[in-house]
Amino acid sequence: MRGTSRLQRVVSHLAAALLILALAWLGPLDPDGGGAAPRAQDAGGAPVHLTVTLADISVDPVRLEAPTGVPIVIEVRNAGGIPHNLSFGELGATPMLDGGRSAELTLPALEPGEYEYVCEVPGHADAGMRGVLVVGAGAGQPAEDPEMTPEEMAAEHEAGVAAFPAPTEGKGNRPLKPEVLQDGTKVFELTASVIRWQVDQATTVEAWAYNGMVPGPMLRARLGDRVRIVLRNELPEPTAMHLHGMIVPNDMDGVPGLNQPSILPGESFTYEFTVRNTGSNMYHSHFNAAFQVPMGLLGAFVVRDPDDPGADVDYTMVLNDGPLGFTLNGKSFPATEPIVAERGQVVRIRYMNEGLQVHPMHLHGMPQEVIALDGHLLDSPYLMDTVLVAPGQRVDVLVEATEPGAWAFHCHILTHAEGPHGMFGMVTALIVE
């Protein structure tokens, strides 16, 4: 405007400058940032907000940045279908999150440095569920390559194999000898309780178990046997047991509300029936099963078929995935158990999948002859090298141990078996001597 004085123009420039300063002092208008990762010089007391998304089997992002001197609040969402968590070790961790669940994790103000985060489900970090939080000086710098050298990768992989079979506390699937009553009834006593369970050399976790082992004890009976199973509940929640694959009277089928009352903590329930069918069957919890079964409340119930071809080595392999990790008979490689046979022997493997995912089980070196599905012998067995076992299924195979050597034997969903740090999870070996 023509009448605007020089003084007025100076004042208006000053006001604009003050407004810009005030806005800068207030900080970014979007507290979640959304743009560039926060830098060290942003530190001013207010917490930094970050987001991590978990999936099956990954974390996104694998690198976070934060300034020093301020609390760090991380919104963690599990976008996967199975439980995961996010842990910074001693600094803090979210609880286990079911698929679709979220949690907020607040870390204290941290010194400059790099802090690793992982999913604590055994095997998931090895499968790639890990990342690094860079605090302070490193933040904002291009990521230096966190990868191992080729020599380090080879050494880690080979060290895992050298440790196999790594000794651990506890062994599942041990046969339970029944008490045989005067009338011939076979009585099995099972107690469900919370235990500590060693999955591999480095990992001991809480498990829910029958008779203190994962899988629960192996039950065996013959066709026509009278069987009584007394189940005592020492868990902090109700339970019940389903005899999966067994033909039993309706009130012995184990579904609370449908066939029986829930077995409350401190209570017992007796399952009694006459064995009417044969095969590789199972027993497992049928209460809060999405939690109780993956936590370990599962076991094998085997009834021999009179027409069964038999084998020199008879091995039951229970597959599981969930809070105990990817396991074969409750253990993760290299703590899994090798199957050992002499050259020329016939090995029978009874796969039983008690997990929440399918597992295609692949044996190197020799084909697998599928002879039974879900406990039923096949009229026409067939050969495969990769046998898909769905949740709830049992598949019986025979392997002719013709080829000497130690042969890898693993789930072929490779995120269940092998990662940058070597083999883990659902891996074992068939050793032909």
Residue among 233 and 428 whose Cβ is closer to Cu ion: 428
φ and ψ at 301, to 5 degrees?
A: -130, 110
Toward Cu ion, which CB reaches closer, 94 or 353? 353
Instruction: Identify which of residues 135 and 328 has a Cβ nearer to Cu ion in the complex.
Output: 328
* Binding range to Cu ion, per CB under 5 A, among 1-9, 118-126, 250-258, 352-360: 352-360
For residue 34, the minimal CB distance to Cu ion (Å) is: 37
Comparing CB distances to Cu ion, the nearer of 387 and 413 is 413
| Closest approach of Cu ion to the CB of residue 94, in Å | 25
The torsion angles phi and psi of 33, rounded to 5 degrees, stand at: 75, -85
Q: Could you say which residues in the range 393-412 bind Cu ion, by CB under 5 A?
A: 411
Task: Give me the least distance between CB of 58 and Cu ion, in Å please.
Answer: 16
Least distance between Cu ion and beta carbon 327 (Å) = 10
Q: Which is nearer to Cu ion, 401 or 413 (CB)?
A: 413
> Do 175 and 216 contact (CB within 8 A), yes or no?
no
User: What is residue 233's DSSP assignment?
Assistant: E
Task: Confirm or reject binding of residue 359 to Cu ion (CB under 5 A).
Answer: yes
Q: How many residues bind Cu ion (CB under 5 A)?
A: 4
Of 202, 187, 352, 363, nearest in space to 279 by CA: 352
Phi, psi (5° rounding) for residue 250?
A: -55, -40
Report which of 384, 427, 382 is spatially closest to residue 407, judged by C-alpha positions: 427
Query: What's the burial of 299, exposed, middle or buried (CB within 10 Å: 0-12/13-18/19+)?
Result: buried
Buried b (16+ CB within 10 A) or exposed e, 2-35: eeeeeeeeeeeeeeeeeeeeeeeeeeeeeeeeee
Q: How far is CA 301 from CA 33, 189, 256, 298, in A?
A: 56, 14, 21, 10
Q: Which helix (H) or strand (E) holds 407?
A: strand 405-411
CB of 56 to Cu ion, least distance (A): 11
Shortest Å distance, C-beta 351 to Cu ion: 11
| Closer residue to Cu ion in complex, CB, 66/370 | 370
Closer to Cu ion by Cβ: residue 331 or 359: 359
* Among 18-26, 109-117, 160-168, 359-367, the segment contacting Cu ion (CB under 5 A): 359-367
CB of 430 to Cu ion, least distance (A): 17
Residue with the two structure tokens 């697998």? 368
Nearer to Cu ion, 21 or 390 (CB): 390
From 416, 421, 423, 432, residue interacting with Cu ion (rule: CB under 5 A) = 416
Burial 55-84 (b: 16+ CB within 10 A, else e): bbbbbeeeebbbbbbbebebebbbebebbb
Near Cu ion by CB under 5 A, which window of 65-73, 176-184, 186-194, 414-422?
Answer: 414-422
Chain residues that interact with Cu ion, rule: CB under 5 A: 359, 411, 413, 416
